[in-house]
Structure 1
Amino acid sequence: MIRVLIVDDSHSVCVFMRHVLESDGTMEVVGIAEDGRQAVEMTNRLKPDVITMDITMPVLNGIEATREIMATRPTPIVIVSSDWSPSETAKTFQAMDAGALTLLRKPGLGRGNDEACYELIKTVKLMSEIKVVRRVRRRLSQDESTPSVSAHPKISRRIECVAIGASTGGPQALSKILSVLPKSFPVPILLVQHMSPGFINGMVQWLGSITTLPVVAAKDSLRLEPGVIYVAPDGVHMGVTPGPRIHLSTTPVQNGLRPSVSYMFASVGRVFSKKAAAVLLTGMGRDGAVEMKKLRDLGALTIAQDKASSTVHGMPGTAIALGGAERILPLDAIGPELVTSVG
């Protein structure tokens, strides 16, 4: 049985979520915490496999509770939020930057929420399988501290566009990368981050608070401008057309996803070819891996996050196995590498 701790200051929400999770037959709710301080104490005492975490709570909010849990007893945390306003959803990304794995919309009470309930069950089960690490810096061994890089020599090239794909663990990774890019970064950045619908505007606002570059939700036909970060909206693929301009599409899902990193990488390859840089970050599955190999074959710069720094090494690991990564780098090295290669 998967042992779950529910953290929420609403008794009725806790009762409903307990019913939903235990109805699957594979999960047991081992405790309910009504504030963040209780969550920290119960995590240490009950040792759950996974935690569902609200954000706005008394005594200690979900952000601080997540930070303390990840520093004392690292546990997979799923943020479950009911407030979709951009200012409030931006707070959920602070919790993800503190170590939470993903976020979901809180299922409404009563009937008519079958899809949201299914998503909650599926996500909690998936996240319970991820091994998270303590969020405290430690001295690395020689093997861990040496970046894993490909044997191929660096190639001098002109880069006109950067495309980044991420999934589970992506917000934390993006925070580290984008925060080191200078205001003078000379090319546009396209970004696909897999997440539940409804949180993109909050993510745009949060990213805007941690980088000096402007961050916008992409719109169809928008001209790409140097130094602007374009985030793929909910439910549509994001690519580019000559101009260069943003192209949004409702064509079928790829790798079960829309927006898809694969769609973005393929589109960037057609327009920019060897003048592109593609970055594949932490995430489940293989979205973007095959297309990264095609980009490398075109002569584009391709960077995959290494296993040691990835929350989940599915996407970048598949790209590496396919020979699609020219450079395999730890997370802390990817931002500086982009500055050097693009600048």
Structure 2
Amino acid sequence: MIVEDSAVVRHLLAHIVARDPRLALVAAVGSAEEALQELPRVKPDVISMDIRLPGMDGLEATRRIMAEQPTPIVVIADSVEDDSLRISMNALRAGALSVVEKPVGVATAGYDALADHICTQLFIMSDVPLIRRRDIGTRLSPRPPGPPLALPDRPALIGIAASTGGPQALAKLLGALPADFPVPILLVQHMGAAFMEGFAAWLDGVVPPKVALAQEGEVPQPGRVHVAPGDQHLRIGPDRTLRLTRDPPVGGQRPAATAMFHSIAEVYGSSGSGIILTGMGEDGARGLVALRRQGGLTITEDESTAVVFGMPAAAVRLGGSSLSLPLPLIAPRVLRLVQGGRPAG
């Protein structure tokens, strides 16, 4: 189902969907109110959601849909408008699964690539199990605790990776850390390059630590979250400064969490730590294996809270996870580690 108030863009999206044999259009409406009315009748597998709508906006529509008839939602947003970006990020926090750039017209540069990306996102997100879409941190059924771990090194640097479902999970995790958190954090979030600056600015406004896009040559600072920019790998260099490169994708991803974790393992060893949250695919899993082999503590989000258990499951399967925790328990575990872990070296 397409939800878009502009008739021109609505017809363009319908044309984009119609040309993909994986997709079938069941409804195209011009307002959130119409979408809520049609939802019980057409029962779509996935919704393309505009953000700036007359009357109820896309954020409130997302909240209503997730509460009344949870359905995968892909936000279609204008990437250059700050207000649209803010609403889009809040829609992701409310349960939408991804955000893609709104097409302008068939004659614009990059139209075919954007149209293919929109269709692929709609197809992939349509298959996310309904049971996984819920408010993060509610109705937890955590696994029984395993044997106690040996006291790990107190981390000097933490890497975090997330993909589908990441913005809301990151808001929860980083929101539980203090502004003066004593360890720098590197972050890879899979998202379209056009949205990364807005994503970092949004996250900076909802969590206590300072969040900003990483800069080449920057020294990671305590109390700061350094976010990989769009379409660039983020690594830590041997001199412990940030390195941004356009090296080939790793496992189909750029930025790649695996590249980030590998660099942390090489430079920090047992005083590095890595966390993989919700996400599709396997990015980060092999990097987490390398980090764990160096003695660093590695944490994966438990299946009980992950919106999509792909990336964490891959890390667990390959032996890269020291422990698996429900999302609300990760921040307390990290805080205990930085306050009481074994001093490195």
Please, what TM-score do these two structures have when normalized by structure 2? 0.93
- Flag the 1:287–1:176 CA change in 2: closer, same or farther, 3 A: same
Q: CA deviation at 1:132?
A: 3.1
Distance 1:85 1:32, change over 3 A: same
Q: Which residue of 2 aligns with 1:125?
A: 123
Q: Number of aligned pairs?
A: 336
Aligned to 1:65: 61
Unaligned segments of structure 2, at least 5 residues: 340-345
In the other structure, the counterpart of 2:232 is 236
Q: 2: CA distance between counterparts of 1:328 and 1:138?
A: 15
Give the Cα separation in 2 of the matches to 1:136 and 1:116. Answer: 30
- Whole-angstrom distance in 1 between the partners of 2:137 and 2:79: 36
Q: Is the 8 A contact 2:152 2:297 kept in 1?
A: no
Shift of 1:276: 1.0
- In structure 2, how many angstroms separate the alpha carbons of the residues matched to 1:149 and 1:330? 11
Q: Matched residues in 1 for 2:310 and 2:73: separation?
A: 19
Residue 148 (structure 1) shift: 5.4
Residues 254-333 of structure 1: matches in 2 within 5 Å?
A: 254-333=250-329
Q: Conserved in 2, the CA contact under 8 Å of 1:97 and 1:171?
A: yes
Tell me the secondary structure at the aligned position of residue 135 of structure 1.
coil
Deviation at 1:146? 3.0
Equivalent pairs: percent with the same residue?
36
Q: What residue identity is the alignment partner of 1:135?
A: R
Look up the SS of the partner of 1:165 in the other structure.
Answer: strand
**What is the deviation of 1:224?**
1.0
Give distance in 1, aligned partners of 2:47 and 2:145. 35
In the TM superposition, 1:2-21 aligns within 5 A as 5-21=1-17
Mark the runs of 5 or more structure 1 residues left unpaired by the alignment: none
Partner of 1:157 in structure 2? 153
Secondary structure at 1:159 match in 2: coil
1:13 Cα deviation after fit: 0.7
Deviations 1:284-312 (A, max 9, x none): 11111011111111110100011121111
Alpha-carbon shift at residue 87 of structure 1 (Å): 4.2
The 3-state SS of whatever aligns with 2:194 is: coil
1:335 paired residue among 328, 331, 336: 331
Q: Give the aligned partner of residue 208 of structure 2.
A: 212
C-alpha contact (below 8 Å) 2:94/2:168 kept by paired residues: yes
The reply on whether 1:89 has 2:88 as its aligned counterpart is no
SS in structure 1 at match of 2:159: strand
Confirm or deny: 8 A CA contact 1:148 1:306 kept in the other structure. no
For 1:321, the aligned partner's letter is: R
2:103 is paired with a residue whose SS is: coil
Distance 2:34 2:18 in 1: 22
Letter in 1 for 2:116: Y
More deviation, 77-86/224-233 = 77-86
Partner of 1:104: 100
Name the amino acid aligned to 2:68.
T
